[in-house]
Structure 1
Amino acid sequence: MTVSITRARHRSARRPTTPLHDLANVATGSMATVGRRTVVVAASSGLLVTMFGAPASAATGGTAGSLPSVDTASLTASARAVLATAPVVTSPADAAWSSDIPAVTAVAPAPVVTRTAAAKAARSAARAAATVVRAAVVNNPVPQSVAGNAVLEVAARYVGTPYVYGGSTPAGFDCSGFVSYVYAQLGVSLPRTDTAIKAAGTIISRADAQPGDLIWSPGHISIYAGGNDQVDSPRPGKSVQFRSIWQSAPVFVRIG
Structure 2
Amino acid sequence: MTSTPSRARHRAARRPLTSLDDLASAATGSLAVVGRRSAVVAAAGGMVLSAAMPAAAASSESRADAVPSVDTTALTAPVREALSTSPVVAVPKDVSWDFESPKIEVKENPKPVVVVRRTVTARSATRAPAPVANNPIPQTVNGNAVLEIASRYVGVPYVYGGASPSGFDCSGFTSYVYAQLGISLPRSSSAQRYAGQVISRADAKPGDLIWSPGHVAIYAGGNMQIDAPRPGKTIQFRAIWQSAPVFIRVTG
The TM-score normalised by the length of structure 1 is 0.42
Between the two structures, name the one with larger relative contact order (CA 8 Å, sep ≥ 6). Answer: 2
